[in-house]
Structure 1
């Protein structure tokens, strides 16, 4: 099968890796230096029409769309119009991620548990609501638009929340959501779906803030553990109260959701609740989940695009994975670019995914905030963490930022690596 992967980050590197190890011919645009080692990179304008024409011209059997911005721009719609199967939601369905105000309203309409919230289209109304709050808990302020995972402020004072709101409404057509602070363990569930049938990946847990102890500003994700322990009763509740009502609701409202439904959840004392929905593989969750996939991602993508997904065919190894993100100095503010990188050789069950890199002649350099996703799998989570940290420590990346406490929320302890 010839597979075209759209995107150029760590998530797309993991998607390419999964398709390539299943024996498929993989094309990618725009790609990155890591992807170039296992796929043919294609130069193309990145608008929806051009990408669909590229897929048709190259004879792609299926297109897998990685980043959310491409989905919101209608790449799947454009591919479908040309008769090219594409794995991802159409533009109307991707609104589940791209518009948090609409998404919250959708959850309310369909009785999907989420945080108590209020949505605003004007700064004055948001500030008035803020002034009336009486809480000692942090205040959650969300930009309703796509912000690459960084549009959330966990404000510890009314003044901090007001600053976040003023920043959101400094731009045109702004909308914001203010919601209650939920307590519990945060977990990600990914559903591969054709709009009706679905298969779940193992639960994973991202670590969102830049510093250890869950401190500092929000990032796109600083590391992942997989699987995160979720008991059978909770998994049943997640299926019955969140995943299935969401798929039914999207279909009932006229835009069935095909692709990867990302459910970011909080396991609260009163049950699982939605923190946010995304319309694609998470990044860096994909780098943790896909190395555990035993079955054929490209075939699943094609089947889902045709409305023929067989959930029983989706299989994952009974193992664990850990992803350590190496971020550039300055991230999540303005990252330092152009830092020379030297990557060590990897062993079996280890991979270094490129998230923000470029080639400068023969020299690999940093070219983004989150630069590398260092991943290892092992029979146990502690062993996977040990291997991932040992590999990360062998990367020559001056000034790299990383978190040393991945898995600490559940008491995971990295085992010393013997490699």
Structure 2
């Protein structure tokens, strides 16, 4: 063992005995470089080639996860902060091609008592090929971890078909096999988008507890709005369970929604709100099915509609003045409470503001704004938002947590109202 590694282990032990926060991401990166190179990962040259994320697996159980941030054979090292005597867990993704691990997180994908490690792999071969794959590992903090699901949710090839006659510039063409996104919901995995060359497609996988694998249970096209309405008929229903259904949008850059009951009937709502749902950038339905949050592009605002009382209210004005508005998160229990985050790099001192909305016993809605720095990322179109569950969430009804920087460590925001 090298002197640097020995010194790290000593600092690791002392930090854990005294104060865990003394151990920095920089410390982990230093020793992780050594561990990667000892395993033959020579593409890892220094700390810039590694990302580190802090993950909590219990109330007082923390791990640092180190993974390659450059093109290499993908692998992870897991360092148990709560038990410094435990050697790091080494998880090589031996059946994967060279790639970059873009993101890792700890999710209860199987909806049981065990949480899984979710990994996003990026295969970056420049203009020739861009690919991304989700990999889910079972029992990642035990021995051994094993893969229970993987899917290539992005596969794009680019080639030169010809050269123009005037300047001889190459004419590129793209072949898109997969360009989709994934969601987790109570033991289900949903894959939506272009799948195996099929546009507007949906795959649904369900966790089989007996065989411990995800089984494909649905493979179909996303429905058009009129197909959904014709399928189940439109019903007037203000109480009971409802779900928000994503349907195929007719306008580029839009996401469209309908509200259905458990039997697949489309819920009747005012036509104006129905039309706004055909292109609503921020959309959410409360867990009890009563409150619909949607983007009103005509009014340049985000609104909340009480389906039972049939009342509409604006909760965020001047929607297009923000670089981005995040997804809505709901508190897990009563009283009903929800929140989201807006990004405005010109007007906000910290660039971001957290909005928390609470209903009192009489159904009145109260709002509090917190100008607090929350880590966010921007896409190629310039839309900047924090990621739900990764950068912010409700830990409890009276505790909202967020990540102020890229390290992934949550900070608490107590809610007293």
Query: Which TM class, normalised by the smaller chain length?
Result: under 0.3
> TM-score with structure 2 length normalisation?
0.28
Which structure's residues are more often strand, by fraction? 2
TM-score norm. by structure 1 comes to 0.28
- Higher percent of residues as helix: 1
Q: Which has the higher contact order (CA 8 A, sep 6+)?
A: 1
Which of structures 1 and 2 has the bigger CA Rg? 2
